Structure 1
Amino acid sequence: MSVAPDWIAVDWGTSNVRAWAMSASGTVLAEAHSADGMGTLARDQFEGAFRRLTDGWVAAPAIACGMVGARQGWAEAPYRQIPCVPLGEEAARPESDLDVRIIPGLKQRTPPDVMRGEETQIAGFQALNPNWDGVICLPGTHTKWVQVSAGEVVSFQTFLTGDLFAALTEHTVLKHSTAGEMSDEESFRAAVHDALAKPERLAARLFGIRADHLLNDIPQDSLRARLSGLLIGAELAAARPYWLGQQIAVIGAPGLAKLYMMALAAQGVPAIEANAERMTLAGLKRARECMKLPT
């Protein structure tokens, strides 16, 4: 059955892409997803990927966020300089007969940092939580800690924690000791505490995971939890100026967000959790308003 959206919302990441057929009032009429992420496509392949993704939908204006606007994406959407509101009127337009507008990311000159996609989730959180000031943690492959005040992104810092976890569990000797699921919350909390107390010992603690497996036959799910706790604990140690004494919100996939919520709670830091998909959609709706698309 054909779907006739008023507009199309798109979250286009490195590995996957997701689209929602939207009504004028913001109701989701249909959704679709595929593995045609930015990392799998050449620039001249994005249009075909978009058409496949929205096959059966009547053509409509689309607003996209994420890595689709990277230098290697469909059309580069230059970063906007902070401090600024997370979304503005700016948008990149690929060379196509399709009406597609790509949201720019944000940049910070000192210390140098960039984000793409998270600005949309931040805008979505602000739309659903008016006048909220504090720090937003966005866990993921590259976790962001973002200070927001008076509606603007004031500063942010990115940590490679997710990439490090993937690299260690897939491409180092630790892959033999950390298979399976992360289910041992006690080991996770203990590792967070250890890394926060002595972050300079991180490299030694990491090899200790392998040694503990060989010598003491510690279950791999516990060791995987320890690895996660050590990396997140080291991140919290470095990000302490962001979360200490601040109002905190965590936006991420449920499983990963839960780990950050646990790690913060263990330090006596309360935080509110927000669903990443809901924030993305709310942000894309806000982008539509900022770009003044017809309603």
Structure 2
Amino acid sequence: MKRSDPQIAPGAFKLYDAYAHGDLSRRDFLEGLRTYAIGGLTVSALAGALLPDYANAQQTETGDPRLIEADLLYASPEGAGEMSGYLVRPAGEAAPRGGVLVIHENRGLNPHIRDVARRAALAGYVAFAPDALHPLGGYPGTDDEGRTLQRQRDRGEMLEDFIAAAQVLRDHPACTGRVAAVGFCYGGAVANELAVRLDWLAGAVPYYGGWPDPADAQAVRAPLQIHLAELDDRVNAGWPDWRDALNEAGAPYELFMYEGAQHGFHNDTTARFDPEQAALAWSRTLAFFDRVLSV
């Protein structure tokens, strides 16, 4: 089932959004779905349509001969101390390439974000996707467990871990030294924060992420390409304040609002996925990388 499937009511998507962001327990999520399990659709079938399907929704595969992949340990002195990330780049002899830092959602470095990193590498970049759960043993294999673990980490320390990752990518011999960040949901919020904290960042692409303190807009130097879903009331509520602050600061940004799309519309492992809107957003993202990383 996809976002447009008429069997999935808007209220069911809202329940999943609350559950995915830790505002609803699994038990309450399933209980709430009973309202929408009608017309022969069972709660288990509805939940199965809403929950991620990593096994059948990968666009790329690990072991692709066109790529070089490695899990890389790195130092994060102001954060967790030791961290780990997934580094992937085009195979073959080549000059250094621009770097793309890929920042996961609120559940650690799951198979979908690894897939996104491979997509960036296949587009010609050196991609690095850190795992904020490394200090707790890494992504545990399920998003439920991943969300539980990520809530145990301090948000300030995690931000420092991603800042350290950006610096590691910048200084990697396969990278030109120019780095842009892309993040989704929690990762979108981190991408916004990196634009505030790193004056050397080449660009940031937050997908439906939370917003920095408007007072921090004065620090933004990197161009932003912001992707929002029309039906994502929770995230969109904070956009006007951040927009006004960016405008007042004269910070460079462009916004794309995707009509009829749900929060998470780029994630092709859940029913919120919108194939046309996701393809359009990703094409815009790659064009943005081409602009800011080829300078």
**TM-score normalised by the shorter chain: which range applies?**
0.3 to 0.5
TM-score normalized by structure 1? Answer: 0.33
TM-score normalized by structure 2? Answer: 0.33
Structure showing greater radius of gyration is: 1
